[in-house]
A and B are shown apart, each in its own frame.
Chain A
Amino acid sequence: MRMPDRLRNASGEFNMTPMIDVVFLLIIFFLVSSHLAKQESQMELPLPAADSGSLPDEQSTNPRITVNVLNDGAMMLSGRAIKAAELQEVLVAKKAKVGPDLEVRIRGDRKAAYQFVEPIMLSCARSGIWNVTFAVYRTEDVR
């Protein structure tokens, strides 16, 4: 590599270019890692397709419970399997803790039978939770 000329750089000025390079890399690194971290919090499921859905409000601070329904009907709540009977207790307890704004989001496999989703909606209705949503993909994203 060519060495810089001593005499030319001797005036004491800094070379900014490497610093800008490094800072730029760091910015991109943190952007990417935060982007990936957000994705990893969700279980991968083939959600049903629908066109009348809306984008979730990311700014919303409403407390939320996400219930995942797998292909075989198993229910997952924050990473652990849960039975339909337990779910209602969890919902009632959570609602008592955080108040009426509680949102329940159902992320169901599109191949899961409806009989496994129905009890979730029933439990919500019985616990007095009205803010129930389904997670879906846009039709053009699926096909």
Chain B
Amino acid sequence: MRKPSVFTSRRSELDIKMTPMIDVVFLLLIFFVWTASFQVVEHILPSSVSAVTGTSPIDPNQPVPEIEDFEDVVVRVVSENGRVVWRVNDQPVANLSDLKRQLQTIASIKKDAPVILHPDPGVSLGDVIDVYDLSRLVGFEKVQFAASESI
């Protein structure tokens, strides 16, 4: 490389070196872009289908039992004019925390009681998963989905 003229040496004393600063700023920029992860981590929820092996847990020909039977805990999720209503063995439940309390009570007596989740077709998946998650959280070992109509 050719060495520039005589003036260089005099100017150099005032010069701030930009290149390392740009390097560092660039690195910091990339680091923060990378760590600010824009996407939330996805978790997985095993469904009732995977919990049971062998026989089909969903039988479209079998109607969901209407009468309350302590063997089964039937949780219905019904949508009434845009509002979600829960029924545990046909007893209406006002809100999610009440539902949790009821399920907890049942779970403390009989943990292996099968919970049958029977949502109305119009209920949103989020509300269904809420109840499903709740039943799993309070410790039920077997939570299943009912299929009432043949599709």
Using a CB–CB cutoff of 8 Å, the interface residues on chain A facing chain B are 1-3, 6, 21, 24-25, 28-29, 31-32, 35, 39, 42, 47-56, 69, 84, 105-106, 108-115, 117-119, 121-122, 124-126, 129-138, 141-142
Contact = CB atoms under 8 A, between A and B. Distances in A.
Interface stretch (B48-56, B61-69, B85-93, B107-115): B48-56
Contact of A48 (B30, B122, B126): B126
Contacts, number: 158
Contact of A137 (B8, B43, B50): B43
A-B pairs with lowest CB-CB distance, top 3: A110-B126, A53-B43, A115-B121
Given A131-B50, A136-B45, 19 more contacts: A42-B39, A42-B42, A49-B130, A50-B43, A50-B130, A50-B132, A53-B45, A55-B43, A55-B44, A111-B124, A113-B121, A113-B123, A117-B128, A118-B121, A125-B56, A132-B49, A133-B45, A135-B45, A136-B42
Contacts of A137: 40-43
Given A112-B124, A136-B129, A122 B41 contact: no
Specify which of A21, A114, A121, A131 lies most central, judged by the most chain B CB atoms within 10 Å of its CB: A114
Contacts of A3: 1, 3-4, 8, 12
A125 B57 contact: yes
Q: Place the interface of chain B in its size category.
A: 35 or more
Interface in B1-50: 1, 3-4, 8-9, 12, 15, 17, 23, 26-27, 30-31, 33-34, 38-47, 49-50
5 contacts: A118-B147, A122-B60, A130-B52, A132-B49, A134-B129
Given A51-B137, A119-B151, A122-B151, A133 B46 contact: yes
Overall SS of chain B's interface: mixed
B42 A50 contact: no
A137 B126 CA distance: 11
A94 B126 CA distance: 28
B64 to A, nearest CB: 13
A67 to B, nearest CB: 12
B82 to A, nearest CB: 12
A29 B124 CA distance: 41
B43 A56 contact: yes
